[in-house]
Structure 1
Amino acid sequence: MGWRLGLAVHPDSGRGAAARIAGTVAERLRAEADHLELITATSFERFRQRVAECRSAGLDALVVLGGDGAVHRAVQCCADTDVALGLVPCGTGNDFARALGIPRDPSTALATLVSALRHGRRRRLDLGRVDGTDPAEPRWFGTVLCTGFDAAVNARANSLRWPHGPHRYDLALLRELVSLRPRPVVVDTDTGRLTTQATLVAVGNTAFYGGGIPICPAATYDDGMFDVTIVGPVSPWRLARILPRLRTGTHVRNPSVHTLRASRVFVAGDPGWPVFADGDPCGALPVTVTCVPGALSVLG
């Protein structure tokens, strides 16, 4: 018996690149499947409903053509189920694909995905679960959950109407840097407790966020643990000096940066600090997250 596949197309991903190659991706997948269902939806609730309908009909795998936001949606539907996730990255950040070693060129990624379908290759990944929500519908994340400066930059960028593209984040970063104020936080884990003044806290299931920034450079997706990065009380000038080192992962050597590993993390602090997971808003502090081993099946 062949595959029953769903193809979730997010046409705006990659500034319209996903829409331009959707036909090619669908054609290649149809050649490998007994059935292919195209899934498009304007709202997350409708998307969840469509995936649930496909699962009831025997869905084997959900293939995402899009960026990290699209993957985050799909993870909510595939986590803790037998439905595998496939990925043809076509966004601006593609941090999930980067962490999994999936080629970021869509054509190469599609060829890798087709090979995985032909040979039945799957692997199990850990996921982060945001606790304290409805137990029947937990919130999941595959890459990084963050709060503090980086989350504030993300929130401000989302609120800006201009400029477009990556420069929007540059402007948001500058505005947040000017207003930077470290705040008291408590990071309580199953391996220890830290009370400090902090600029940001990042909980990594994988290493990357923000389009390739290895904020938790040692994080891996299959070890049952989070890597946590905490930037302590630094001035705007000092943080500006740390930021370039984020791209190389050497920021963890700075004496103002603390790192730890844990499978459960509770972060409490200023309730005005937003929380983001996989680049999507996820409420505010306090927040408790748990690493769930093998919660997601991925093709490839």
Structure 2
Amino acid sequence: MTAHPVPAVSPGSAQGAATLIFNAGAGGSSHSSPEALAEALHHAGYRPVYRATDGEADLRAALADVSGPVFVAGGDGTVRAAALHLAGRADVTLGIIPMGTANNVARTLGIAGDPQAVIAAYAGAQAAPFDLGRVTAPWGQDVFLEALGCGLFAEVMAAYDPQQGKSPLRAVGALGEVMRAFTPPPLTLTLDGVAQPPLDCLLLEVMNTPATGPRLPLCSGADPGDGLLNVVRVDARDGEGLLTYAAALAAGDFAQLPSVTSTPARCTEIPYCGQPFHVDGEVRPARPDTFGVVRVEVWAAALRVLVPAVEGG
């Protein structure tokens, strides 16, 4: 991420008061505790208040009246849940303590490693703007941090159903099921008011961060601080095959494949013919016989996020 810093948070001032949100169900939570994280934040110069949250209602209540830094310990799902309550609030700054599996949002900000080391780096943190994607669709209103998309990835997610819990075996089964039946739909997108040539989209992703899902690096150039979203399309007619795509993703050069196009845009309109979509890690199921438009707009600087100090920087 290209950070555009604004005045640094000063833990020694009144801004030192902070809120800690901790997800006990995150992947790395067994190696830490809210008490240990609160103590680390105290050593970094903050005065943390831990607010226990066991569900959406608790989270909404915990964040309703907060101000200043809000530290969220958990994975991308926890970060998303908190961010949706903090978006558009200029008096709040989000600090991420990554404890999940993919940690796509944290990695975009250069945040990785042991929670104690991450927190120590927040002692000299600066705040930077973080865009979001705002969606109007036949299923309703949505907001995303990482990406929204339809096509192969969304179809696999819908078949896999993340609400049933994580399972590599189910993931393989979902991929096989989709590959047997999926026919890429012809889509005519509109980007910033300009209609694009029709395309049989094997994959369509509107990206805010470089990676989404299980760390799929679909758009290395995506920058959530630039006021733009990146529309990534894979043309099924020039498809290189799954093994080629997998190798390119592993090597980090997916965008260089001939069938892949990435275009920055502020507003994207996607024809909707009932296909499933994903919004970050959530699925919006297929709605057969429903037609319309999925409109995606960038919500520039919707969040303020803390970017930890880099040693020697």
Is this a same-fold pair by TM over 0.5? yes
Aligned to 1:50: 62
Aligned to 1:17: 30
2:205, 2:231 within 8 Å by CA — same for their partners in 1?
Answer: yes
Give the counterpart of 1:37 among 43, 50, 56: 50
- Alpha-carbon spacing, 1:8–1:168, altered in 2? closer, same or farther (3 Å): farther
Aligned to 1:128: 133
5 Å matches for 1:74-113? 74-82=82-90, 83-113=92-122
5 Å matches for 1:112-191? 112-116=121-125, 121-131=126-136, 139-158=142-161, 164-190=166-192
Unaligned runs of 5+ in 1: none
- Give TM-score, length-normalised by structure 2: 0.81
Question: Alignment partner of 1:199: what SS?
Answer: strand
Give the counterpart of 1:6 among 19, 24, 36: 19
- Alpha-carbon spacing, 1:123–1:161, altered in 2? closer, same or farther (3 Å): closer
5 Å matches for 1:222-261? 222-234=225-237, 238-261=241-264
Question: Alignment partner of 1:200: what SS?
Answer: strand
Give the AA of the match of 1:207. Answer: P
Counterpart CA distance in 2 for 1:29 and 1:185 is 49
Aligned to 1:215: 218
- Alpha-carbon spacing, 1:93–1:159, altered in 2? closer, same or farther (3 Å): closer
- Alpha-carbon spacing, 1:107–1:293, altered in 2? closer, same or farther (3 Å): same
Question: Alignment partner of 1:289: what SS?
Answer: strand
2:206, 2:229 within 8 Å by CA — same for their partners in 1?
Answer: yes
Aligned to 2:80: 72
Deviations 1:137-164, CA, capped at 9 Å, x for gaps: x6322211111110122222226858x4
| Backbone CA RMSD of aligned residues | 2.7
Unaligned runs of 5+ in 2: 1-13, 287-291, 308-313
1:203, 1:216 within 8 Å by CA — same for their partners in 2?
Answer: no
Counterpart CA distance in 2 for 1:132 and 1:26 is 40
Aligned to 1:289: 296
Question: Alignment partner of 1:80: what SS?
Answer: coil
- Alpha-carbon spacing, 1:282–1:26, altered in 2? closer, same or farther (3 Å): farther
Of all paired residues, the percent bearing the same amino acid is: 28
Deviations 1:156-175, CA, capped at 9 Å, x for gaps: 2226858x444543332233
Counterpart CA distance in 2 for 1:238 and 1:127 is 32
- Give TM-score, length-normalised by structure 1: 0.84
How far the C-alpha of 1:23 sits from its partner, in A, is: 2.2
